[in-house]
Structure 1
């Protein structure tokens, strides 16, 4: 559509005042509006403290879990046989179900009542080689200082053809609970791809990143996932990764 020989959007942007462009954006007519310098309306985000320091658990659930659980749902067929999960086996049971023949839980502390294996994933010689068909490693790698060694352990203890399903935070607040003192890393798809490629074969690794500037901002403020739309959550911008997801398969060749 044109006006006076020019694309209508170009004409609107050049001639309409900022308040009119903002109004058109709110109506969904002109979505490309960017407020001029000094005319940004920060609204509820105009504060230096978050709405929630609990990742949004107290506001309908964390935004990052939306991506994590969608990823596990998509890869549910891989969660089968003997499965190892970290901390508890909630995702193993939810997404693996009857496909799981044995569920193990690794925890670094012996006081975890559901742990079947106690130890540090980055240094676990007591876990035998080729033991698991699948490892569910969600939101854990960033808490391990020797992250690459933890991946080496995963590769070693997976059976040939076994699958590692991993998620890790990108842009995120830092936990204020017991894990605050060991929150060492935030990853990007680039750093994860390089590290994974040094442990697993590059051809066997699938990496995706999820999020955009609005989702990342909302997550940092502690906005709950129920407060965002599916359209907002679905938009991907590689410059604003909230969650990194990885599927890696151990080679059949030793």
Structure 2
């Protein structure tokens, strides 16, 4: 089947997608990795020069260590739940808590904003706690399954390029941030079904169609 092929009406061959049940109930992590992480990790790799100095990451510091490496002098982790191993700050980002102002060189906020009811307040706190010239690296879901586990009850929002532009233009100078989207109908479909990253054609993931955004990325400099 050649790229761009569209079957005639009534001639669709559904194959493995002829099911109301996904291949995975865990975003594809149990099949080798989630499709959306392809975009998230490419974004962080491209922005790795900003992951340096004192870095704050939400939930854990895996991406801080992977993409910052020896350029990171201090790695902090913000988690919602007390007693979480490795967490150095506990609390809700939208409330700010004990997070110090003008303190971090970089904040890594991946796949978190949609879990925060008052996401505007969370973004304001991110800006407050960044040092001058500090960088926020943010990703958020577009088209996505909803988590079946502990985070499902917190899953409140879904964003696209236009909603994120509207939010950011009301909060920050236009010259301070860059917004991009990644995905297409193939990426969205394979992600929704829970195909593993090694089960898909990565070259197809690189095609961008803003009508089917799987991931929205934002780089903001204070």
Q: TM-score if structure 2 supplies the norm length?
A: 0.97
- 2:137 is matched with 165
Q: Does 1:135 align with 2:104?
A: no
Q: Does 1:91 align with 2:63?
A: yes
- 1:122 is matched with 94
Distance 1:200 1:102 in 2: 27
- 2:210 is matched with 238
Q: Does 1:156 align with 2:128?
A: yes
Structure 1 residues 162-241: aligned runs within 5 Å = 162-241=134-213
Relative to 1, partners in 2 of residues 1:118 and 1:125: Cα closer, same or farther, differing over 3 Å?
A: closer
Candidates 65, 69, 75, aligned match of 2:41: 69
C-alpha contact (below 8 Å) 1:200/1:249 kept by paired residues: no
SS in 1 for 2:127: helix
SS in 1 for 2:211: coil
SS in 2 for 1:198: helix
Relative to 1, partners in 2 of residues 1:82 and 1:217: Cα closer, same or farther, differing over 3 Å?
A: same
- CA shift, 1:125, in A, is 4.0
SS in 2 for 1:124: coil
- 2:53 is matched with 81
- 2:6 is matched with 34
Candidates 103, 113, 116, aligned match of 2:85: 113
Distance 2:207 2:151 in 1: 30
Structure 1 segments unaligned to the other structure (5+ residues): 1-25
Question: How many residue pairs get matched?
Answer: 222
- CA shift, 1:60, in A, is 1.3
Which of the pair has the greater relative contact order for Cα pairs under 8 Å at 6+ separation? 2
> Which deviations, in whole Å up to 9, do the C-alpha atoms of 1:90-116 show, x marking residues without a partner?
100110011111111001111212110
Distance 1:44 1:33 in 2: 18
- CA shift, 1:199, in A, is 2.1
Deviation >3 Å, runs of 4+? none
SS in 1 for 2:54: strand
Higher-Rg structure is 1
- Aligned-pair RMSD on alpha carbons? 1.0
> Which deviations, in whole Å up to 9, do the C-alpha atoms of 1:52-73 show, x marking residues without a partner?
0110011111001111011000
- 1:5 is matched with none
- 1:22 is matched with none
Structure 2 segments unaligned to the other structure (5+ residues): none
C-alpha contact (below 8 Å) 2:183/2:209 kept by paired residues: yes
